Amino acid sequence: MSDLPPKTMRASRIQLAQLMMPEHANNHGNVHGGWIMKLADEAGALASTRHAGHRTVTVAIDQMVFRQPIRIGDLVILEAEVTYAGRTSMEVEVNVTAENPITGERTHTNTAYFVYVALGEDRKPTPVPPLIAETPEEEARMAAARERQQRRLAQKPR
């Protein structure tokens, strides 16, 4: 068990927004998936760093399914927060929404789960604070995150 004081999910919450421009898109006007993955990783890294109080590095992305296209001119809003904390690793849930800045219409385009490890000054994994849930919804999200982490560990080559 960690000697570090626990932190809430909301303490790690981060929101980023960026207007999608032609350089982010293909010739059909759809934003490249790789660009969205980059933004999602940045949001996740900020949330994990906020929780850990240390630098973090990405070690896994469960999957990223693009359910709706994001177009040039959309405002992409990324919301990230820690949903699981182990000894040195954390899972961060990143939700991606596209907003038409003229009409205000919002479309949830995808959710992805990233795993980060906190690094100490020696660049080796370092302990992170335990995570606490404040609501039944957060408890359910933490339980689902623990299940995903168990699946990840079961798939890890030994």
- Six-digit token string for 114: 């990233």
Q: Which residues of 31-70 are buried (b: 16+ CB within 10 A; e: fewer)?
A: beeebbbebbbbbbbbbbbbbbebbbeeebeeebeeeeeb
Q: What is the pLDDT of residue 156?
A: 76
Residue 1: pLDDT over 90: no
Q: Do the Cβ atoms of 15 and 40 come closer than 8 Å?
A: no
Enter the pTM of the model.
Answer: 0.93
Q: What is the pLDDT of residue 72?
A: 97
For the chain, give the percent of residues with pLDDT over 90. Answer: 91
Q: Do the Cβ atoms of 46 and 74 come closer than 8 Å?
A: no
Average pLDDT for 119-145: 97
Structural domains in the chain, CATH included, are 7-155 (3.10.129.10)
pLDDT single digits (tens) 68-80: 999 999 999 999 9
pLDDT single digits (tens) 21-55: 999 999 999 999 999 999 999 999 999 999 999 99
Query: Measured between alpha carbons, how far is 126 from 118 in angstroms, rounded to an integer?
Result: 6
**Alpha-carbon dihedral of residues 124, 120, 54, 81, nearest 10 degrees?**
30
